[in-house]
Amino acid sequence: MSKVRVLVGTKKGAFILTADGKRKDWQVSGPHFAGWEIYHVKGSAADPNRIYASQSSGWFGQIIQRSDDGGKTWNTPGSSPEDLKSPDGFPKGESNKFTYEGNAGTHKWYDGSQHPWEFKRVWHVEPSLTDPETAYAGVEDAAIFKTTDGGKTWKELPGLRQAKGHLWQPGAGGMAVHTILLDPKNANRIYVAISAGGAFRTDDGGKTWKPINRGLKSNFELPDPDAEVGHCVHRIALHPSRPDVLFMQKHWDVLRTDNAGDQWTEVSGNLPTDFGFPIDVHAHEPETIFVVPIKSDSEHYPPDGKLRVYRSKTGGNDWEALTKGLPQKDCYVNVLRDSMAVDQMDPCGIYFGTTGGQVYCSPDGGDTWDAIVRDLPPVYSVEVQTLK
Amino acid sequence: MIRVILPFHLRKLAKVDGELELEVPAPVTVRAVIDAIEESYPNLCGTIRDHDTLKRRPFIRFFACKEDMSLEPPDTPLPEAVLKGEEPFLVVGAMAGG
């Protein structure tokens, strides 16, 4: 029987939640890396026992952790004695070294001046779909890095920042590559999304990138609502069977594209508010999508104190509230952009975590919900592995 | 032998308990001690000082013999008591405040 492993990153450590296919009885492991901020934890599709985690701290900076046994034990990549010696005998310890390529240049700063690019942390790790040793890291200040040696070393794909990076300007939440989507049908195509930067696509494996923001309108965030870059994209998602169809939760507005981002159309429809952070796609129904409406950019909690996931079975525009098992009064949590995921079971399971420390699971495609855990630290990210 | 006390999170990361005891070649300076820490525990590279600039991370402090050596030039010699092993060199995570 299949089982699921839910990987949860929080403000104070990582947690691993496991259950069988019924998804009713859960075991909780953690905190791993207790006391550290864990922005993201994600397993490799090519080897489910290979899991990468981004661990960071305001004091000690960035750490990359890797498990090769499904999360039981962890090590910083390349920390075995033989790994740690370079040919001339000196230790390396470079698994947390994220250095921008060449002359890093500048981006736009709050006062309109140009400001040097400065690495702050890894927001998102996206393992390759085919090679456990290869993964991509989305970082703040916005850039994408790649490892081909299991995380021992990372090298920037600098072409992304050449896609008008000098015009990107951080918002209050920072300026980070927070979403990386790998096209399962075209190994050369990757999509990324950047807060206060927009969405971008490469069709040559990361050498060159282009903005894909036509159709986005940011009337209250940008002086030019139709600007080529600078939109605050909160999250994008795709279904593996149709990688040209993307869904987006922008700062305001939910949108879709049917041509790989060349043109976007708003599909907010009857949502009570179209502000929010996560968006995801049902594992078996490519037109079924999920969002969590949040009241506004000034009030980061659900409208009316009611935590509601909204589901559209028509790829947007027509939305229904999913409430069974979710708090419908006095709920003022937020759901962050990387905190929603789906499993591959049938029926599909939907998961999301909150800033109040709850992780909710719906084992029936969103119809009913229950909390797996209720009192974790604020949840930064949720990923799911479906295991044989 | 130089005695070094790391903060909790770096001890956990390095998988060590208690003090470190490190051979540090003369002249024993802040820079030389951090070099020795990183050579023995490479996964601490980047956690105390920047990989590239080698500047101390902003919320890391260096204490020795009741003195804050954080702002001293990195080639400042450490006090005699640290060299003799009578006093430890402390790597400290700055107070969070609040």
User: CB contact, 8 Å: A36 with chain B?
Assistant: yes
For residue A310, the one-letter residue type is Y
Q: What is the DSSP letter of A110?
A: T
Q: Which residue of B has its CA nearest to A60?
A: B47
Alpha carbon distance A383, A219 (integer Å)? 32
* CA torsion, ordered A169, A174, A175, A177, to nearest 10 deg: -170
Alpha carbon distance A253, A267 (integer Å)? 8
What six digits make up the tokens of A46? 């090519």
What six digits make up the tokens of A227? 């600007």
Would the pLDDT of A84 be above 70?
no
Q: Are A228 and A211 in contact (CB under 8 A)?
A: yes
3-class SS of residue A165: helix
pLDDT in tens, A8-42: 999 999 999 999 999 999 999 999 999 999 999 99
Would the pLDDT of A85 be above 90?
no
Res. A233 pLDDT band, cuts 50 70 90: very high
Would the pLDDT of A324 be above 70?
yes
Q: Do B47 and A60 touch (CB under 8 A)?
A: yes
What six digits make up the tokens of A35? 């006391």
Please report the pLDDT score of residue A220 as a whole number: 87
Q: Do A59 and B9 touch (CB under 8 A)?
A: yes
Q: Give chain A's mean pLDDT.
A: 95
Q: Do A93 and B94 touch (CB under 8 A)?
A: no
Gap from B75 CA to chain A (nearest CA, Å): 21
Q: Does the ipTM exceed 0.90?
A: yes
Gap from A276 CA to chain B (nearest CA, Å): 30
User: Lowest-confidence range among A107-116, A122-131, A308-317, B48-57?
Assistant: A107-116
CB neighbour list of residue B75: distance below 8 Å, 6 or more residues apart: B27, B29, B30, B31
Please report the pLDDT score of residue A111 as a whole number: 87
Q: Do A59 and B39 touch (CB under 8 A)?
A: no
Indicate the residue of B45, B47, B51 with minimum beta-carbon distance to A99: B51
| Mean pLDDT for the stretch of residues A88-111 | 84
Where is B28: in which H helix or E strand? none
Q: Are A333 and A354 in contact (CB under 8 A)?
A: yes
Would the pLDDT of A88 be above 80?
no
What six digits make up the tokens of A365? 């495609």
Domains of chain B, start order: 2-93 (3.10.20.30)
Q: Which fold has domain A246-388?
A: Methylamine Dehydrogenase; Chain H (2.130.10)
φ, ψ for residue A159, nearest 5 deg: -60, -30
User: CB contact, 8 Å: A99 with chain B?
Assistant: yes
User: Lowest-confidence range among A18-22, A47-51, A81-85, A372-376?
Assistant: A81-85
pTM for the model stands at: 0.96
User: CB contact, 8 Å: A259 with chain B?
Assistant: no
Res. A110 pLDDT band, cuts 50 70 90: confident
Alpha carbon distance A341, A251 (integer Å)? 19
| In chain A, % of residues over pLDDT 70 | 97
Q: Do B57 and A61 touch (CB under 8 A)?
A: yes
Q: Are A211 and A264 in contact (CB under 8 A)?
A: no
Q: What is the DSSP letter of A164?
A: T
Alpha carbon distance B82, A145 (integer Å)? 41
Place of tokens 């921008």: A100
CB neighbour list of residue A25: distance below 8 Å, 6 or more residues apart: A19
Please report the pLDDT score of residue A86 as a whole number: 59
User: CB contact, 8 Å: A96 with chain B?
Assistant: yes
In A, which residues are within 8 Å of B46 by CB distance?
Answer: 61-62, 93, 96-97
Cα–Cα separations (whole angstroms), residue A14 to A51, A138, A163, A378: 12, 19, 34, 11
Please report the pLDDT score of residue A91 as a whole number: 54
| Mean pLDDT for the stretch of residues B34-47 | 94
Cα–Cα separations (whole angstroms), residue B94 to B48, B66, B90: 12, 15, 12
Q: Which residue of A has its CA nearest to B12?
A: A33
Among A343, A340, A342, A363, smallest CA distance to A353 is for: A340
Residue to mutate among B9, B35, B62, B91, with most A CBs inside 10 A, is B9
Gap from A107 CA to chain B (nearest CA, Å): 20
Q: Are A314 and A348 in contact (CB under 8 A)?
A: no
Whether the link from the prior residue into A31 is cis, omega within 30° of 0, is yes
